[in-house]
Chain A
Amino acid sequence: MTNLLLDAEQLYGELRSGVARLLSPDTVLVGIWSGGAWLAQRLNADLKTGRPVGTISSTLHRDDFGERGLGAVEATTSLPFEIDGARILLIDDVVASGRTIRAVVNELFDYGRPASVELAVLVDRGGRELPIAPAFAAAKLTLPATQRLSLARGTDGRFTFAVKETT
């Protein structure tokens, strides 16, 4: 495991500025479990939106359920506001293939019909397999397919990135 030259806290600052520009007065933030949920909670507090923040899980809509099974289900969706007509800004730590985004958009539509859905991420690592593009990415980089990038949150609430080799 290497820590790479990716300063998660610095990127968070850029994400905060990017998200601030995307926010309209009625936008609600929805973080994708788990890394995106941490980010959305902190963004919601730092940007003082005054609105509740949502968490969304892709578990029940994943397209690789057949291969991966259900595994441990810790993630649950919590959307404490009306979805019909809402302007939603999805937040995630990393976007790659876009399959997680596809799954959470499906999950979102089970709760209602939002007016719009946008996406902001810390890192766009490329390798898209679906026509999905974030409205804002704090960093764009290319990583070998064997490396997995994941956000970690320390006990002090600070973010770090970890890269794991997968085989």
Chain B
Amino acid sequence: MVRRLLPLLAGLLMAGSVGAHGDHAQPGAAGPKVDYAKVWLEKQQNAPRLAVAATFDETGRLWLARVVGQQVFVSHSDDAGRSFSEAVAVNREPELISADGEARPQIAAIGQRIYVSWTQALPQPFAGHIRLAVSDDGGMSFGEPVTVNDDTRPITHRFNAMLADAQGVTLAWIDKRDGTGNPDYTGAAIYTARSTDGGRSFESNRKMADHSCECCRIAIAADTDGTPVALWRHIFGQNTRDFALARLDEPLRRASEDGWEIDACPHHGGALAIGRDGARHIAWFTGAEPSPGLHYRRIVGDTQTPPQRFGNLDAQAGHPQVAVHGRHVTLVWREYDGRHNLIRAMHSRDNGSRWSAPSTLTRTAGAADDPLLVSSRQALWLVWNTTANGLRTVKIKP
């Protein structure tokens, strides 16, 4: 009568669910916490960990961070991804690492210094620590990882974003320290930390904004003066989950006015690129009527272009990336056509005013990570991790 699932089926399984949906406080009052903790932990242990990080250094070498089991591994490629060096383990001591969908490791290569950050998943539901490890010898070895969040309770410090330059490294993440034990607090907060000595020491954590949405990746990019600028899904008013943009330590401005009021986890972060002219190019997803789907806009000072919708709504278009070089702007995103996961792209040659028709860059028949756009000095590349076809790098021709 009771047809329980065979444990065998569990063994055959494969990838994770639609996504670890939340990065929220304890679920509703009636929620049996013990069971949640168990499911959470199992999910962390069994996640497929498809999310990778990639960057080019100034010599044109491609650096890759990927998670295998409970370790981050870094390797590099001098032929843009055709072949990679032997991978170096970043954390010698294994730990649970979030590396799926919106929860992603990050990598930056500045001269001989390689920064790698990730979120360590804790056994408590939705809890994590922001971790950073640094190599000073060109990625041959890494120092002991440090925990960057200075609130060390087992609560949400997750969805690490990172930006590094010759002056230092800045991390930003989603943090529930203000909302923990305070049921009236809406959502989470964006916290940042900055180190100017190569990650050896950090200034105190600083709060960038109260009331962020809880489970969307943060996008971060350097302004023309090097100051980090972040884009994240915010909670405006009671429950409107649209996007906000802020320079480090400056007040936020609303970046989208979709009006997506939803008691749910969208799990769709935005993308941000900043041109030499200071223009912010952003791409984001909303489920709000009358225009659900992906949108692009350019923000210059106090002016902004109207949101321009792109992507095929009937093919789950989502998880965009944007890049700008001169007046060339490129958008990539993923779609699913019923048989394949596709990476679609479109281009603008006039700073984002007019766009080419979308084209398909590549496809895979199996499970896939979200796309990454990484720039070398000469070209723009798509980096895409797939189950069936491994790591793909595709040069993007504007």
Q: Are A and B co-members of a single complex?
A: no
Which residues on B are within 8 Å of A, measured CB to CB?
A: none
